[in-house]
């Protein structure tokens, strides 16, 4: 299991995500990678757009953490992250950007 996602994307089929009042598992095409913006490191998590209520709960969250899984194996477990941005990418996936607290 990796301690930091790095700049190469991690592809997963399941994510277990906990954010403030939300605890959810999502399946589908999931990608995570480390990015650098203005000299600061962030983790970018791209999720399939799920239930609108789950999306709104995530948009209101101040912090989150997650585990990435592929084929029943845990690939990455994040530390607690502070939400910095939530947006949609060009194909409609929900992208959550965060940094360690």
Q: What is the mean pLDDT of residues 68-86?
A: 93
- pLDDT tens per residue across span 42-72: 999 999 876 788 888 888 999 999 999 999 9
Q: What is the mean pLDDT of residues 74-101?
A: 89
The vertex-99 CA angle with 37 and 38, nearest 5°, equals 15
Instruction: Enumerate domains of the chain plus CATH numbers.
Output: 10-100 (2.30.110.10)
- pLDDT tens per residue across span 3-23: 567 888 999 999 999 998 889
Buried b (16+ CB within 10 A) or exposed e, 7-40: eeebebebbebbbeebebebeeebbbbbeeeeee
């Amino acid at each position: 299991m990796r301690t930091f996602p790095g700049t190469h994307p991690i592809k997963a089929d399941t994510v277990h995500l906990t954010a403030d009042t939300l605890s959810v598992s999502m399946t589908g095409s999931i990608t995570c990678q480390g990015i650098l913006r203005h000299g600061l490191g962030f983790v970018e998590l791209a999720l399939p757009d799920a239930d609108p209520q789950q999306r709104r709960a995530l948009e209101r969250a101040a912090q989150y953490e997650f585990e990435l899984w592929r084929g029943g194996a845990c690939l990455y477990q994040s530390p607690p992250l502070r939400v910095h941005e939530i947006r949609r990418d060009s194909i409609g996936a929900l992208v959550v950007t965060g940094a360690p607290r």
